[in-house]
Amino acid sequence: MAQKKKRLLQGNEACVEGALYAGCRFYSGYPITPSTEVAEGMSVRLPKVGGKFIQMEDEIGGIAAAIGGSLAGLKSMTATSGPGFSLKQECIGYACIAEVPLVIVDVMRGGPATGYPTGPSQSDIMAAKWGTHGDHPVIAVTPSSVPEILTETVRAFNLAEKYRTPVMVLYDEIVGHMREPLTIPEPGELEVVDREKATCKPEEYFPYDDRHLVAPLAPFGSGYRFHVTGLNHKQDGFPTNDPKVIDRNNRRIIEKVETDKERIWKNEETALDDAEVAIFTIGSTARSARFAVNELRKSGLKVGLLRPLTIWPFPDAAVAELSKRVNAIVVPELNLGQMVHEVERCARGNCEVEALTRVDGEPITPAQIMHAVRKYL
Among 185, 216, 219, 361, binds other proteins (CB under 8 A): 219
Instruction: Spell out, one character per residue from 94 to 113, where the chain touches other proteins: x when CB under 8 A holds, - when not.
Output: x-------------------
Q: What is the 3-state secondary structure (H, E, C) of 114-168?
A: CCEEEEECCCCHHHHHHCCCCCCCCEEECCCCHHHHHHHHHHHHHHHHHHCCEEE
Separation CA 178–CA 199 (nearest Å): 44
Nearest residue to 373 (alpha-carbon basis) of 322, 325, 331? 331
Amino acid sitting at position 141 = V
- 65 belongs to the binding site for other proteins (CB under 8 A): yes
- 221 belongs to the binding site for other proteins (CB under 8 A): yes
- 200 belongs to the binding site for other proteins (CB under 8 A): no
Give CB contacts under 8 A, 24+ apart, made by 208-217. 208/99, 208/233, 208/234, 208/235, 208/236, 208/237, 208/249, 209/235, 210/235, 213/252, 213/255, 213/256, 213/259, 214/99, 214/162, 214/163, 214/164, 214/256, 215/99, 215/164, 217/99, 217/100, 217/101, 217/164
Closer CB to other proteins, 11 or 207, in the complex: 207
Among 114, 135, 239, 247, binds other proteins (CB under 8 A): 239
> What are the residues whose beta carbons fall under 8 Å from the beta carbon of 263, sequence distance 6 or more?
none
In the complex, minimum distance from the CB of residue 87 to other proteins, in angstroms, rounded to a whole number: 12
Give the other-Cβ count within 10 Å of 360's Cβ.
9
- 32 belongs to the binding site for other proteins (CB under 8 A): no
Closer CB to other proteins, 91 or 305, in the complex: 91
Among 135, 179, 194, 223, binds other proteins (CB under 8 A): 223
Among 64, 128, 138, 343, binds other proteins (CB under 8 A): 64
Amino acid sitting at position 78 = T
Interacting residues with other proteins between 136 and 165 (CB under 8 A): none
In the complex, minimum distance from the CB of residue 68 to other proteins, in angstroms, rounded to a whole number: 3
- 40 belongs to the binding site for other proteins (CB under 8 A): no
In the complex, minimum distance from the CB of residue 77 to other proteins, in angstroms, rounded to a whole number: 12
> What are the residues whose beta carbons fall under 8 Å from the beta carbon of 81, sequence distance 6 or more?
32, 33, 34, 35, 106, 107, 108, 109, 117, 173
Among 6, 227, 251, 375, binds other proteins (CB under 8 A): 227
In the complex, minimum distance from the CB of residue 5 to other proteins, in angstroms, rounded to a whole number: 15
- 67 belongs to the binding site for other proteins (CB under 8 A): yes
Strand bridging mode 166-172 / 139-141 = parallel
Closer CB to other proteins, 51 or 176, in the complex: 51
Phi, psi of 222 (to 5 degrees): -105, 15
- 22 belongs to the binding site for other proteins (CB under 8 A): no
Stretch that binds other proteins, among 174-182, 229-237, 276-284, 362-370 (CB under 8 A): 229-237
- 44 belongs to the binding site for other proteins (CB under 8 A): yes
> By CB under 8 A, how many residues form the interface with other proteins?
44
- 279 belongs to the binding site for other proteins (CB under 8 A): no
- 282 belongs to the binding site for other proteins (CB under 8 A): no
Phi, psi of 356 (to 5 degrees): -120, 110
- 60 belongs to the binding site for other proteins (CB under 8 A): yes
Stretch that binds other proteins, among 54-62, 80-88, 185-193, 331-339 (CB under 8 A): 54-62
Give the other-Cβ count within 10 Å of 263's Cβ.
11
Q: Is 338 left (phi over 0), alpha (psi -120 to 50) or beta?
A: alpha
The binding site for other proteins (CB under 8 A) comprises 25-26, 28, 44, 47-48, 50, 52-54, 56-58, 60-61, 64-74, 76, 90-91, 94, 219-223, 225-231, 238-239
